[in-house]
Amino acid sequence: MSLSPKQSLKEELVELDKKHLIHPTSNMKQLQENGPTFIFTEGEGIYLKDIEGRKLIDSLSSLWNVNIGHGRKELAEVAKEQMEKLAFTSIFNNWSHEPVIRLAAEVAKWTPGDLNATFFTSGGSESNDTAFKTVRHYWKIKGQPEKKKIISRKLSYHGVAMGATSATGIEQFHTFTTSLAPDFHYVDSSVDSLKELIEKEGADTIAAFISEPVQGSGGVNLPPEGYFQEVRKICDENNILFIADEVICGFGRLGTNFGIEQFGVIPDIITMAKGITSGYAPLGGMVISERIQKELIDKTEGNFWHGYTYSGHATAAAVALKNLEIIKNEKLIENVNVVGKQMLEGFKWIQEQNSNVDNVRGMGLLGAISLEKASNSAEPIGPKIVAKALEKGLICRSVIYDGQDTLAFAPPLIINTNQMEDMIAIVNESIQAVK
């Protein structure tokens, strides 16, 4: 029997993938046994299609990033236009170009307070490493080079560059390799833990505290009531800079421009990526306050000795500008507040239907359902629910770090109320199916 062209294409791709491709944050043995879980071919709105012709709701916006949905022709057009005109040139050595200037000015309109100057990168990890180096440089030029420790929270995710890995508070990312960067310290999510660490290490050795407004990859963990107001106060009292990692929460995900605004505080630095381009081009950045910018300008001798080839990539910047225009014009943040409320109500309804649901939570279009563990030795059921959801046409993520058994959701910001109903129904049926 001869294979159909589609089957033979799939088989060819599976073999090539297994032989030649190293997948990020994936199980290498499973890949060799089963091949890639999906080979995606197309995307439109909240849906992805794979090579088998399966149409699936992308309830995590791929990697919490395809916020304006898949298949937006406007972004393709802007990228083509910019590539034809000037795809790339350096902005090292004070060179510049219009897309990056316009994007920096646009970002300043989105950010709170006087966070008005941006250094661009290609993603979240680079943005966080940039922030760690910048805060250390900042204290050095202010005559306090010993202020270099970075404090982060357990279960935080800040990326996989050397500094970002070291700041990440998820054990698996540390034990994967042998040595980490020095001068990173971790606190749990209580204000007391932060106070104790500052007391122990000494404020004069600490450069900055970094936190996601709502932890994403660590299981969609909301901060305790009043946490960030207290953190802001403690940072001010101890001359510690406060970095908000807005890589997931930025650009509307929580229902405000930046997630930290939900908690009524203004950080000194914001790091961002993902939603700034909705994944249509790799781009991230670090935004600093005017106060920090002024110190850097006044006191840096010689160069700002930090820069990626793709800092301020012209095509990525043009794509970001169009993406931000779409978020504004289509009033997507208003949509987040409507459909986000529906999502949380839906999760509460799911909890009522299913005795094995322990806890549901959410803010804007970032949400989670935590499952009860039958006993300490029991296998987590999240992965089985994810597999069931897949059969029913929905992709979602299971998070099982640190003994939790959680399903995470971050649908595209364009999701409408009917689509949210579908999503909730499938999640509920999938949980019921594996009881």
Structure tokens at 226: 């009043």
Q: How far is the CB of 351 from ligand PMP (least distance, A)?
A: 26
CB of 27 to ligand PMP, least distance (A): 18
Residue 56 or 273 with smaller CB distance to ligand PMP: 273
Least Cβ distance, residue 33 to ligand PMP (angstroms): 26
Which member of 68, 167, 247, 320 binds ligand PMP (CB under 6 A)? 247
Binding-site size, ligand PMP (CB under 6 A): 16
CA–CA separation, 27 and 23 (whole Å): 8
Applying the rule CB under 6 A, the residues between 122 and 141 that interact with ligand PMP are 123-125, 128
Q: Cβ closer to ligand PMP: 43 or 124?
A: 124
Binding mask 8-37 for ligand PMP (x = CB under 6 A): ------------------------------
Give min distance, CB of 86 to ligand PMP, in A.
25
SS3 state at 237 = helix
- The DSSP secondary-structure symbol of 3 reads P
Q: Which is nearer to ligand PMP, 151 or 247 (CB)?
A: 247
Name, in order, each residue with C-beta under 8 angstroms of 402's C-beta and a sequence gap of 6 or more: 154, 155, 170, 171, 218, 219
Taking CA 431 as the corner, what is the angle to CA 428 and CA 435, rounded to the nearest 5 degrees? 140
What is the token pair recorded at 401? 């770090």
Beta-sheet strands, E only, within 95-148: 115-121
Q: Is 419 in the site for ligand PMP (CB under 6 A)?
A: no
Binding mask of the shown chain, residues 348 to 387, with x at each position contacting ligand PMP by CB under 6 A: ----------------------------------------
Q: Which stretch binds ligand PMP (CB under 6 A): 245-253, 308-316, 325-333, 422-430?
A: 245-253
Q: What are phi and psi of 376, to 5 degrees?
A: -60, -35
Q: Given the complex with ligand PMP, which of 159 and 382 has the nearer CB atom?
A: 159
Q: Which residues contact 237 (CB under 8 A, 6 or more apart)?
A: none
Question: Which of 159, 250, 252, 412 lies at the binding interface for ligand PMP (CB under 6 A)?
Answer: 159
For residues 215 and 156, what is the distance between their CA atoms, to the nearest angstrom? Answer: 6
Q: Name 385's Cβ contacts closer than 8 Å, sequence gap at least 6.
A: 371, 398, 407, 427, 430, 431, 433, 434
- Judged by CB under 6 A, which stretch of 28-36, 211-219, 340-348, 368-376 contacts ligand PMP? 211-219
Near ligand PMP by CB under 6 A: residue from 157, 228, 251, 263: 157
Beta carbon of residue 399, minimum distance to ligand PMP (angstroms, whole number): 12
The DSSP-derived string for 14-44 is: HHHHHHH-PPTT--HHHHHHH--S--EEEEE
Q: Which of 10, 137, 153, 158 binds ligand PMP (CB under 6 A)?
A: 158
Is 217 a residue that touches ligand PMP (CB under 6 A)? yes
Q: 305-334: which residues touch ligand PMP (CB under 6 A)? A: none
Place of tokens 């790091």: 271
As measured in angstroms, the least distance from the Cβ of 128 to ligand PMP is 6
- Please tell me whether residue 387 adopts helix, strand or coil conformation: helix
Q: Which is nearer to ligand PMP, 157 or 242 (CB)?
A: 157
Q: Are 24 and 161 in contact (CB under 8 A)?
A: no
Q: Indicate the residue among 219 and 346 with the shorter CB distance to ligand PMP.
A: 219
Please state, in angstroms and rounded to a whole number, the distance separating the CA atoms of residues 70 and 144: 47
Strand order of the sheet with strand 206-211? Answer: 115-121, 284-289, 269-272, 241-245, 206-211, 149-153, 184-187
Q: Using CB under 6 A, which residues numbered 267 to 296 contact ligand PMP?
A: 273, 284
CA angle 271, 274, 275 (to 5 degrees): 95
Distance CA 270, CA 343 (A): 27
**Least distance (Å) between residue 222 CB and ligand PMP:** 14
The region of 119-127, 130-138, 297-305, 373-381 touching ligand PMP under the rule CB under 6 A is: 119-127
Q: Which residues contribute to the site for ligand PMP (CB under 6 A)?
A: 63, 123-125, 128, 157-159, 212, 216-217, 245, 247-248, 273, 284
